[in-house]
Amino acid sequence: MVKKAIIPAAGYGTRGLPVTKVIPKEMFPVGAKPAIQYIVEEAFASGIEELLIIVSRAKSLIVDYFDRSLELEAFLERRNKTHLLKEEFIPSGQIYYTRQPYARGLGDAVRLGKSFAGGEPFAVLLPDDIVLHKGVPAIRQLIEHYERCGQSVVGLNKVERNELHKYGVIRGEPLDNGAYCITDMVEKPKTNPPSDLAVIGRYVFTPAIFSYLETLPSPGEEEIQLTEAIRRLAAEEGCQGKLIAGTRFDIGTADGYMSLLSAVWKER
């Protein structure tokens, strides 16, 4: 059973500058709640019991948001407005935090969760990607597939070819029910993408991923690339991709964020 998940949220958010200089993109409002709350709710709705959020020193807003505000509670009690406390999000599981001291890439952020994972399979949810779906939550879809196949699983969706340069793209052999055996993966291919299957920011990993992350970065590179670790994992131990049902929104882009706001508004 997959009961632990990691949410890497330490990045600079350069695609969202200048506003991300002071407001983490994970805290951008989507309706009445911040974007990262959608990710946390998805995790707990999928059976996750413990979350590790990777933050940086500039992301204290995230830590504060998921904590109680005793001052606010006391103020509302004095004003007889305690009914507003019902709107406060109280996580159903345990949330832990650790800092990524240097911006060394997504792979480094995941690597920091090794002791947290404790030798168990675990999920990774990237807060840039919000997946709206009225059925089974996105990460739950991958957990269920992992429980069937026993290998690490990468979330996928089909993307128009002129958009593939923005994403990691897999090469794979088709299996049943929207699954693929991954044979290769290319990060943001500028030309000749290997398929139209782009990676969504949802993963379920066996603990083996850490042994590959620890061999990185490759010579001449400063960042630890999760894509490269997955490539090595797929070649040596096997890794599957799984198409995720739902609509994916990349809130790291203005278009993606505005599209998400529109979709959430229509669902009200």
The structure tokens listed for 209 are 């991923």
* Nearest-angstrom CA–CA distance, 261 and 265: 6
Pairing, β 33-34 against β 152-158: unpaired
- The DSSP letter of residue 244 is P
pLDDT tens by residue, 220-267: 678 899 999 999 999 999 999 999 999 999 998 899 999 999 999 988
Q: What is the pLDDT of residue 77?
A: 82
E strand or H helix at 239, and its extent? strand 239-243
pLDDT tens by residue, 93-151: 899 999 998 888 999 999 999 999 999 999 999 999 999 998 999 999 999 999 999 99
pTM for this one?
0.93
Number of domains comprising the chain: 1
Helix (H, G, I), strand (E, B) or coil at 116: helix
Domain span including residue 199: 4-266
CATH code of the domain in which 214 resides: 3.90.550.10
pLDDT tens by residue, 11-45: 877 787 788 888 889 999 998 899 999 999 999 99
Q: What is the pLDDT of residue 54?
A: 97
Residue of 6 and 1 predicted with greater confidence = 6
- The DSSP letter of residue 18 is T
Residue of 81 and 65 predicted with greater confidence = 65
